[in-house]
A and B are shown apart, each in its own frame.
Chain A
């Protein structure tokens, strides 16, 4: 393939698939460093499995 001027084709946006703890963290970092984020989640709300956990090691903080 020939080399093109890449920057014209680049999009300053990122799609994140999954709204659990990993998806939310990656979305926040992306947004805070200057990229538009589409966060795609298949259920009706974000939070994922971590939101189901009662407490987490080691502080026994509530997972919310």
Chain B
């Protein structure tokens, strides 16, 4: 493939991101990171945490490119990094697969006259509001409205701007994320604001269908956020003020009005024109809304073999789903590349490590000027001279740029020539540069933990630029503190443990089978454990997906693929009775009837699924006309004669969901009811279908079902929790009495079939959670390490989750999650050895009194008690180096390596010894 690289006009190797260029640049340009609410310079970094943290010139705004002169940046750049001759490059890449993650564009509401976005300054988009809330935004996180910088008392959110609308914006889909982000923004706005603030959300259906979303929604209601089911009629500015008059129609058709200080448009997600063009160049088929066309069973594949898609490109989705799909795409894109794993990666040739433990400390101190960033404020030569006077210092040097490549080579030489055994670098932050200097030490044959940094830039010259003398004194203190600690540093060991390169997958449903197959296709043996007598799980009982694909036949194919895969050993009728060990070295006991088996594996994937709620309400189990979704699917699957004479079918949504017992949305039931309703209509046009709902949550592309159902004459009646439909027997039929909120009248229908959209509930498997030492949430779902960024990981390494054990979800999401769990597992299976050690805790056995303090305080379960020796023992593979144990131990028996008490005491006393 060929890639065009645009010129940056800044040399990445030379730029030190000091910001002098931007300070001197005379040209201001719109700051797109801040949604153009503020200006940046024509030479800029997109935002201060980006990678690479290097400047770039925006040629469209640069004066030199417009008028042929200026070059202020070049003149002032201390590193000589500016290159106006930089040119566009064509780069040819040899790759085995391509993954597209081009993202989305926030919908531009300019075309809606109703919302006057272009001419009313206090009407902002949601992404603009994010920037307004942000500490790095246009108002430094101070919540004010743009027109007059007044703190708003009342803010309104308008939902579905650029979503669920085929008249103005031609986006029939639901953008999936706006309901949640609007709720979040109301709560953050309340938190940020200096004054009490009234937040109102104008919406059609609140779609809080994800894990813990409904709880968050309820919390917002409890904290006073008003949610108003309505359609917006108009928005106008009140003459003589910057305030906004909102007119809206409530559900019963009444026109109301209210004044707000500010309106946030909850804009949807759409695909950018440039992405549509990219797709055309690659020959990728897009759907009617320009999202990548995918099928339910291959959620990260595109229409072109070898090209994969993830994130919002294949449909509007939130961060956890994007992260999940990203991992899934990594897994899917490399299934055929398993034979060439590690053929293109590079490995380093490293010198042997010198043993310095018996040598007296000989510290080398390297003081950086960072161009003028440090040298312009701090008197670096004075710091250098001061460093020479410190104990254990054998060598001191001043550098213009300590981080430059040539300086690394020089440091390596100096370490060898002068026999240095420890290094202090007085420069910028260890957070950005420690790994670089650690690498330099490795190249010089020293243990990488023998370097310490004194942060004399970010935490000194930059923050005390107005007081050079004090900054210089502080730099001396920081160097002295670093030298004091460094003298005490000991080499830290990282040891290699054996990695058992095979997996245990628990659960033989779609998620478990998908994960097992993916791992096997990557070449790793898998033990697939299923507690029932057959593979397949819940999906075998489903009729069709929301895209109309038959489910059961796909699942049967999946079962056959698993059974014929040589690397997969299937254990049916089996349960786990014990789990020992840690990442790379698990030992799990399986019990199958009376026989037992011990499996050794390096990773585990928990895909134990969930189950359908058994209703206690609406005559379920008492009247034959009342059934669940899976029971109706059974009738469809078998073309049951019971469907023949049916005239009226009713669905009641949220049966067992969104109530006190199960305060969450089961996510799939709205779509399932609509798929069934449409199937009924397809089979018999004149059939009457009634759906009783609370909010229709056909998120993303599923919204098409909702539109189609209304077009086909399916009738929808909203009910509230105070007045649920009442079901009573009426011969072979049941009668449903309900209140129609539009007419505000009680009505009744008779149904031949009443399908209850039953909840999906967790197995609430405490014993499984205890065996694998993984957490469950309040509703009994497996709880991931981080709900946004680590959606299939657990806090403990080597164990992953997928499928409905995590939360109710449709098949495409289960498959994506299963592949994601496999992908995360592959990052471990690919390693020959598991590295442990470094910054971890050690316990001095002689000092341990066996009080259990550390065992109880460790958040990672890394400390166990050895009852024979009566002492606590750290498992280095599990320890994350937080030091909670060391702080807790009353006997000071625990040492946190690299941050032990002597080292910290040395820093404390030397900080105060000036």
Contacts and interface: CB of A to CB of B under 8 A. Distances in A.
Interface of A: 6-7, 10-18, 20-27, 29-36, 38, 40, 42-61, 64
Nearest to B105: A49
Contacts of A58: 212, 216, 787
Contact of B47 (A14, A32, A51): A51
Contacts of B6: 42
Contact of A17 (B56, B101, B137, B323): B101
Contact of B311 (A10, A22, A27, A60): A22
Contacts of A60: 184, 187-188, 191
Contacts of A46: 50-51
A7 B322 contact: no
A57 B322 CA distance: 15
Given A29-B326, A33-B830, A10 B339 contact: yes
Contacts of B95: 11, 13-15, 38
Contacts of A29: 326-327, 330-331, 823-824, 826-827
Q: Which 5 A-B pairs have the closest CB atoms?
A: A45-B50, A22-B311, A23-B101, A25-B326, A18-B101
B266 to A, nearest CB: 14
A52 B34 CA distance: 7
Contacts of B346: 36
B140 to A, nearest CB: 12
A35 B319 contact: no
Interface stretch (B127-135, B625-633, B872-880): B127-135
Contacts of B330: 14, 25-27, 29-30, 33
Interface in B21-64: 33, 35, 44-47, 49-54, 56
Nearest to B333: A14
A15 to B, nearest CB: 5
30 contacts: A6-B336, A7-B339, A11-B337, A13-B93, A14-B95, A17-B98, A17-B102, A18-B100, A18-B103, A20-B322, A21-B311, A21-B789, A22-B103, A26-B99, A29-B823, A33-B341, A38-B3, A42-B6, A42-B274, A43-B46, A44-B44, A44-B46, A44-B50, A51-B49, A54-B130, A55-B188, A56-B319, A57-B183, A57-B213, A58-B212
Contacts of A11: 94-96, 337, 340, 344
A58 B329 CA distance: 26
B278 interface: yes
Most B C-beta atoms less than 10 A away, residue of A20, A22, A36, A52: A22
Contacts of B133: 54-55
Contacts of B344: 11-13, 35-36
A14 B307 CA distance: 10
Interface string B1-29: 10100101000000000000000000000
Nearest to B103: A20
Interface of B: 1, 3, 6, 8, 33, 35, 44-47, 49-54, 56, 93-104, 106, 127, 130-131, 133-135, 137, 141, 180-181, 183-184, 187-188, 191, 212-213, 216, 274, 278, 310-313, 319, 322-323, 325-327, 329-331, 333-334, 336-337, 339-346, 522, 787-789, 823-824, 826-827, 829-830
Contacts of B336: 6, 10
Given A49-B104, A56-B184, A33 B137 contact: no
Contacts of B127: 49, 52
Contact of A26 (B94, B101, B135, B183): B101
Contact of A21 (B94, B184, B326, B345): B326
Nearest to B100: A17
Given A15-B1, A30-B334, A20 B311 contact: yes
Nearest to B829: A33
Contacts of A59: 787-788
A32 B103 contact: no
Contacts of A35: 96, 334, 337, 341, 344-345
A4 to B, nearest CB: 13
Chain B contact residues, majority secondary structure: mixed
Contacts of B183: 57
A9 to B, nearest CB: 9
Contacts of A23: 99, 101, 103, 311, 326
A36 B345 contact: yes
A31 B313 CA distance: 22
A16 B788 CA distance: 21
Contact of B50 (A10, A32, A51): A51
Nearest to B346: A36
Given A11-B94, A45-B46, A54-B130, A26 B327 contact: yes
Nearest to B331: A29
A26 B96 contact: no
A25 B213 CA distance: 24
A50 B319 contact: yes
A41 B342 CA distance: 24
A21 B340 contact: no
A31 B346 CA distance: 11
B337 A10 contact: yes
Nearest to A40: B3
B155 to A, nearest CB: 15
Contacts of B181: 57
Contacts of B212: 58
Contact of B343 (A12, A43, A45): A12
Nearest to A51: B47
A27 to B, nearest CB: 8
A46 B49 CA distance: 9
A41 to B, nearest CB: 10
A29 to B, nearest CB: 4
Contacts of A38: 3, 93, 95
A32 to B, nearest CB: 4
Contacts of A64: 49
A56 B788 contact: yes
